[in-house]
Structure 1
Amino acid sequence: MTFDRELISNGNPMEAIVGFSRAVRVGPFVSVGGTAPVGEDGKTVGIGDVAAQTRRCIEIIKAALEQAGSGLHHVIRTRVILTDINDWKAAIDVRKEYFRDVRPVDTIMAIDRFVNPEWLVEFEADAIISDWTA
């Protein structure tokens, strides 16, 4: 069995420059890569506010999943990447708003910094398309 590969873009000009996609769908699987808290204007959302940044990341992921034919209700894994592990609860409190009933597996980790120092969090998600047929 072979699967088609669909690249999902949100129009970020860095996609072509760096060579990445917001998400990739292969068969019934959708992976959304590191999603930063960037607004439609290209500027960081919620500077200094990890909860606002987490919410923005999840909303971007939601749009990418819907574009791929999936949705937040089909998420099977999330990854929360923070610059300060002490911010984990604020980020997870927002994550719960979206995933309390879905209950995907989760990883929470901290790194030294992101490309943009205003970013406190990036978020990743993997999902399925439950009504997919080959």
Structure 2
Amino acid sequence: MPASRRVVREGPFRKIIADGVQVGDTIYLSGQVSVDGEGRTIGAGDIAAQVKQAYANVRTVLESFGATMADVVDETVFVTDIDGFLGRGDELFGLRAEMFGGDPQISQTLVQVARLGSADWLLEIKCIARVADAAQAG
């Protein structure tokens, strides 16, 4: 019997993409970028501001499923300038830890891409979360 599927479409791009999909105890988030609820870019040219906003968006989507940042088990971060990102690694990974409420114990992949959906976006964060009790996250 196939697992039940729950789809959340609440963000500024809801007409074209789901914010996340939950199947069983696993939540798959679409890539989150540095935009507000209206789809306006926050922090153009400022990687630190974009890290904060993208993680805030991750948190918002997780909350839509009744989950938290503590439920994240894997993330992929796509950046347009990996050298610039790593050059500010201590600061940016510190912001990441702040957004998680401590040093996240998760797997991570960091990938450089030529461009994201907008030339103003410097990174995109895609996550997978697991919840111990699927009923509590749905």
Q: Deviations over 1:87-131 (max 9, x none)?
A: 131543321223344311000111011121000011111101122
CA distance in structure 1 between the aligned counterparts of 2:9 and 2:80, rounded to whole angstroms: 26
Q: Partner letter of residue 97 of structure 2?
A: K
Whole-angstrom CA distance in 1 between matches of 2:19 and 2:74 = 16
> How many percent of aligned residue pairs carry the same amino acid?
27
Q: Where in structure 1 do 4 or more consecutive aligned residues deviate above 3 Å?
A: 99-102
TM-score, with normalisation over the residues of structure 1? 0.87
Query: Which ranges of structure 2 fall in alignment gaps of 5 or more residues?
Result: none
1:42-57 residue pairs with structure 2 within 5 A?
42-57=39-54
What is the aligned counterpart of 1:123 among 117, 122, 125?
125
Distance 1:24 1:94 in 2: 26
Deviations, residues 12-41 of structure 1 (Å, cap 9, x unaligned): 2x332x3x2110011110011111110123
Q: Which amino acid aligns with 2:79?
A: L
Mapped pair 1:92 → 2:93 = yes
- Would you say 1:5 and 2:2 are equivalent positions? no
Q: Contact 2:56–2:99 at 8 Å: present in 1 too?
A: no
Q: CA deviation at 1:10?
A: 1.9
Residue deviations 1:14-72 (CA, integer Å, cap 9, x gap):
332x3x21100111100111111101232100111111101111111111111112110
What is the rounded CA distance, in whole Å, between the counterparts of 2:6 and 2:41 in structure 1?
Answer: 28
Structure 1 partner of 2:23: 26
> Is the counterpart of residue 67 in structure 1 residue 64 in structure 2?
yes
Q: How many residues align?
A: 130
Q: For 1:35, what is the secondary structure of its paired residue?
A: coil
Structure 1, unmatched stretches of 5+, are: none
Query: TM-score scaled to structure 2, two decimals?
Result: 0.85
Q: Are the equivalent residues in 1 in contact too, given 2:79–2:123 (CA < 8 A)?
A: yes
